[in-house]
Amino acid sequence: MKRDRDEAEEEGNEERNKRKMEIVWQTPAHPAQKQDYVFHNGKRHVRPYYFEFVSHVNKRWEGKTIVDLFAQEFRGRSRDYYVSAVKCGRIQVDGENIPVSYIVKRCQKISHFLHMHEPPVMACDVEVLQNEPDVLTVCKPASVPVHPCGQYRKNTVLGILQAEYGLAPLYPIHRLDRLVSGLLIMAKNPAKADSFRQHIEAGLVQKQYVAKVVGVFLDAEVGISNGDTTLKGKAACTKFTRISTNGIHSIVLCEPVTGRTHQIRVHLQCTGHPIANDMLYLSDDVVNRSTLGTTADRAAALSGGSPETSCESHKEEYKYCSEDFSIDPMCTHCPNLAPNGYDGHEEGLWLHCVRYTGPEWVYECPYPDWASLT
C-alpha cells in the first residue's frame, strides 16, 4: 500500500510539474524589456524567467543515455535533478518527451527548459556617448558582459541597450572583457561592422586604455612584447606610458599593438606593476591571494586602495520580495533572486578603454573617477 501511495504521489508531482510548463518559454529571439530588471543593493538584477537552452548531440555525446549525458557534461545540477527533468518533460529530444533510458543520436536537438536566474551586475547606466546613423558608442560599465554568454543573457550591454533604448540590432566591433569598463563601439548594420573589421585586421586601428597599477611606474615609455612574456605562444606587444603617480599607485596609458586575451593585464604584471585590484595577476608579495579570495574590491583594500568601482544609477531601488516572481518547484536557485554561488562582492577592474582611432575616425570615452590620484 505504501508503494502505491508513493507512486501515486510521484505521478501527481510530475503532473503538477507538467502543468507548470504551460507558460511562454523564452528563447534568444525574445528581446529584453525594461520591466525585466530590478535594482537592489547597488546591483542590477534580472527577474527570473523561463528559458529554453538548445544544444545538438556531438560525437562525444553520441550513444549516451540522456541522463548520463547531462550528469557528466553539465555538473551544475545533481543526477536526481536530471532524472526528474526528463520525467516531467523539462528535457526533450527533437521536441519530444523521452524516457530516462533514452540513448541520444548524432545531431539530435536537445532542449533543456530552465527557470533562469542571471548573475547580477553593477547597477550602472550604460551611457550612450555617440549615436550616429551607422555607429553607436557607449561607456560600458565594469562587470557587465557585452553580449550573451554563459549565464548572462539580459544582463548584458546588448540586452540593456535594447530594453532601455530600443537599440537593436547592434554589432560590437571589438572585445571588452566583462570586468573592464570604457569605450565600446558598435555598428548598426553588417556592412559598417565589416568596414571596421577590415580596418582592425589591416592594423589600421590604435587602441588606448588607462590602468591604475601598483607602485611608481617608470617615467618613460615601456614596451612589452612576447619576447618578455608569452600569451599562448602568440605574438603580443603593448606600450605603456605613465600619466601620474602618488607614490602608492600610478595611472598608466596602455596601448596594445596586438589584441590577445588579458594582454594588458599580463604585460603589466611583467613590468612589476600589476593592476592594483587584479587578483588574477597580483603577485604574492603584493597581496596574499589565499586569504583574500578573488574579488577586485578585496584585492584593492590590501594593496592600499579602495574599491572605487561603484557608479551612480538613476534607477529606482527595488524592495526585494521573493513573491514578485514565480517560484519554480524544480528550480535549484529559487526562492533567491541571484543564482546559487554568487557571493555579491565582485567589482570591476581598474582598466578602462578610453580611445579607438582608425582611418579618418576616432571615438573616445571619459576617464573614470579612479584615474584621478588626488
Question: For this structure, is 194 an active site residue?
Answer: no
- Retrieve residue 253's grid coordinates: 596609458
**CA separation, residue 11 to residues 21, 109, 161 (Å):** 16, 27, 44
Contact 276, 214 (CB under 8 A): yes
User: How far does Cα 294 stand from its chain's mean position?
Assistant: 16
Task: Give every CB contact of residue 66 below 8 A, 6+ residues apart in sequence.
Answer: 82, 86, 91, 93, 98, 100, 102, 103, 104, 110
d(CA 223, CA 271): 9
Per the residue annotation, which of 177, 278, 297, 328 is the catalytic one?
177
Terminal Cα-to-Cα distance of the chain (whole angstroms):
78
Reported as half-sphere exposure (CB side, CA atoms, 13 A), residue 4 has a value of 1
Give me the active site residues, please.
177
